[in-house]
Amino acid sequence: MVDKLTTDIGGDPAGPVPQEDRDQLFWEKQMIAAFNLLQVKGVVVTDEFRRTVEEMPADYYANSTFYGRRLDGMVRLLIEKGVIDADTIEARTREILESGTRDHV
Amino acid sequence: MSDHDHDHDDHAPTREDDDLELTEGEARFLALKSLLIEGGVMTADEIRARMEFNERGSPHQAARMIARAWVDPDYKARMLADTKSAAAELGIEATEAALVTIENTPERHNMVVCTLCSCYPRSLLGEPPAFYVSKAYRSRAVREPRKVLREFGVDIPDAVDIAVHDSNADLRYVIMPMRPQGTEGMSEEELAALITRDSVVGCALPVEPS
Amino acid sequence: MSEAEPSYAVGDRVRILDIGKPGHVRTPTYIRHKVGTIERFCGMFENPEDKAYGRWGLPPIPLYRVQLKQDDIWPDYDGAPGDVLEIEIYDHWLAPAGETT
């Protein structure tokens, strides 16, 4: 018996559908663009990305946001493919958080 | 950092989040972006260009197509047969591999969901609404569509069937709402204004003319 | 490389299987073991079950839209008897209705 994928939620009980809309943040739009470029350039394949999201622990999936999952899935996949290094991105994230800088390239 | 650009239309990327505190998510993305650029995987210009490309997708594109279909039965037939080509006729570039239009009729109301993730015809419509990617919608739309629609203020009588389309594989869907009564003589532009983003997913009906 | 041919015609009654495959699949659990009707042949597509693991997903496989009555999916379906669900299913997840897995 194979476990259900964490993403396989069709028919599961759930609360009210959230009605409030929310504009995409600038960085989220950038992220989607970067993600699209990775696909267009053949660095990643959409099916691989979906699979990395499915491989995350169930409690992560339950407590994550839509954009959070896209980011984490993309990072995870790029580490798997050796495009980036896990320690390096972690260190760079800390640096950016500490300095509080942001650039809107 | 470069200056703010000149005025953009509604669809241009904004920089309003300059005033927002830097979150861990954004910091992580900025770290990723810097590594990808340093690694030569992509350039900042490419990211910018792709953001602009993505901004072209909007519900208004589908609204234009549907308004044309409402006034022109031949265009409607072409849109139902080959949605991608029908889009191209109006100068709309849709890049989905397989795009399908499903028509609402007096006998049947249609709605779309992607239970497994968030499949949605983004090149045509832009990013999906927040509700579409929510777990509650993805779980419940297939199981209790009438109840979900009532939460949207849409009450479909039992005499009208509901078809839920789970966009789980390669097709991407556009729902063609029915033309409201009392719209005779309206221009295509006026008709397009009645067709909302949510009506193209099947979670709303088009606006009634005032 | 030979291509698989579509096995089903529009109107055929089919059962959606649970093929017990671990890993990345696009056939949701809620629809497995249910019986429906082929609504259309969508075309030949690369297999996402392979593409998810860095493989090419070739040869392309047939994809169909299957229509099912909601009453046949959910034991407690609370809607109208004519309500349906339509979903995309790859060929290897289908069998003629009447065959069991």
- Asked if the structure places residue A55 within a domain, the reply is yes
Type of residue found at B162: I
pLDDT in 10s for each residue of chain C, 101 residues? 345 568 999 999 999 999 999 999 999 999 999 999 999 999 999 999 999 999 999 999 999 999 999 999 999 999 999 999 999 999 999 999 975 55
SS3 at position A7: coil
- Asked if the structure places residue C101 within a domain, the reply is no
- Asked if the structure places residue B191 within a domain, the reply is yes
Cβ atoms of A14 and B135 within 8 Å: the answer is yes
- Chains meeting B at 3+ CB pairs closer than 8 A? A, C
Q: Which residue among C28, C52, C57 sits closest to A10, beta carbon to beta carbon?
A: C28
Beta-carbon separation of C88 and B171 below 8 A: yes
Q: Which domain holds residue C62?
A: 13-96
Number of domains in chain C: 1
The residue of A9, A47, A48, A80 whose CB has the most chain C CBs within 10 angstroms, and thus the best one to mutate to test that interface, is A47
A interface residues, C as partner, C-beta within 8 Å: 1-5, 8, 10-11, 45, 47-48, 50-51, 54
- Asked if the structure places residue C91 within a domain, the reply is yes
The pLDDT tens digits for B104-146 are 999 999 999 999 999 999 999 999 999 999 999 999 999 999 9
Contacts of B8 by beta carbon, 8 Å cutoff, 6+ apart: B14
- Asked if the structure places residue B11 within a domain, the reply is no
Bridging pattern class, strands C35-45 and C61-69: antiparallel
User: Is omega for the bond preceding B121 within 30 degrees of 0, making it cis?
Assistant: no
| pLDDT score for B188 | 97
A23-55: burial string, b at 16+ Cβ within 10 Å, e else: ebbbbbbbbbbbbbbbeeeebbbebbbbbbbbb
- Asked if the structure places residue A12 within a domain, the reply is no
Query: Which residues of chain A from 42 to 61 reach within 8 Å of chain B, CB to CB?
Result: 43, 50, 53
- Asked if the structure places residue A6 within a domain, the reply is no
> What CATH number is attached to the domain comprising A58?
1.10.472.20
Percent of chain B residues past pLDDT 90, beyond the cut? 89
The pLDDT tens digits for C10-20 are 999 999 999 99
* Residue located via tokens 């407690």: C76
B47 and B92 part of one domain: no
Cβ atoms of B174 and B100 within 8 Å: the answer is yes
- Asked if the structure places residue B209 within a domain, the reply is no
Residue A98 pLDDT exceeds 80 = yes
| C contacts of A42 (beta carbons < 8 Å) | none
Q: Which residue has the higher pLDDT, C31 or B19?
A: C31
B78 and B44 part of one domain: no
Beta-carbon separation of C54 and A48 below 8 A: yes
CA distance A95 to A100: 8
- Asked if the structure places residue A18 within a domain, the reply is no
Beta-carbon separation of C31 and A50 below 8 A: no
Beta-carbon separation of C83 and B145 below 8 A: yes
| C contacts of A50 (beta carbons < 8 Å) | 24, 48, 52
Of B114, B167, B199, B203, the catalytic one is B114
- Asked if the structure places residue C3 within a domain, the reply is no
Query: Which residues of chain B from 69 to 128 reach within 8 Å of chain C, CB to CB?
Result: 98, 108, 115-116
Q: Which domain holds residue B129?
A: 59-200
Q: Which domain holds residue A79?
A: 26-99
Contacts of B91 by beta carbon, 8 Å cutoff, 6+ apart: none
| pLDDT score for B82 | 98
The pLDDT tens digits for B169-196 are 999 999 999 999 999 999 999 999 999 9
The pLDDT tens digits for A80-93 are 999 999 999 999 99
C22 touches chain B (CB under 8 A): no
- Tell me the whole-structure pTM to 2 decimals: 0.93
Domain boundary among B33, B55, B77: B55
Reported ipTM: the value is 0.94
- Asked if the structure places residue A7 within a domain, the reply is no
Q: Which residue among C45, C87, C90 sits closest to B166, beta carbon to beta carbon?
A: C87
Summarize chain A as % helix, strand, coil (round to 5): 55, 0, 45
> What CATH number is attached to the domain comprising B174?
3.90.330.10
| Nearest C-alpha neighbor of A62 from the set A15, A2, A30 | A15
| C contacts of A11 (beta carbons < 8 Å) | 28-30, 74
- Asked if the structure places residue B15 within a domain, the reply is no
B77 and B163 part of one domain: yes
Type of residue found at C40: R
Helices B44-55 + A26-40 axis angle, to 10: 100
- Asked if the structure places residue C44 within a domain, the reply is yes
- Asked if the structure places residue C80 within a domain, the reply is yes
- Asked if the structure places residue C5 within a domain, the reply is no
CA distance B125 to B199: 12
Cβ atoms of A77 and A55 within 8 Å: the answer is no
| pLDDT score for B34 | 96
- Asked if the structure places residue A20 within a domain, the reply is no
B117 catalytic? Reply is yes
B88 and B35 part of one domain: no
Number of domains in chain B: 2
The pLDDT tens digits for A10-51 are 999 999 999 998 888 999 999 999 999 999 999 999 999 999
The CA-to-CA distance between both ends of chain B, in Å, stands at 47
- Asked if the structure places residue A85 within a domain, the reply is yes
Number of domains in chain A: 1
C39 touches chain B (CB under 8 A): no
B103 and B117 part of one domain: yes
> What CATH number is attached to the domain comprising C28?
2.30.30.50
Question: Which residue in chain A is spatially nearest to B33 when comparing CA positions?
Answer: A34
| pLDDT score for C99 | 59
Domain boundary among B12, B31, B55: B55
- Asked if the structure places residue A2 within a domain, the reply is no
Of B34, B117, B139, B187, the catalytic one is B117
Cβ atoms of B140 and C61 within 8 Å: the answer is no
B119 catalytic? Reply is yes
Residue A101 pLDDT exceeds 50 = yes
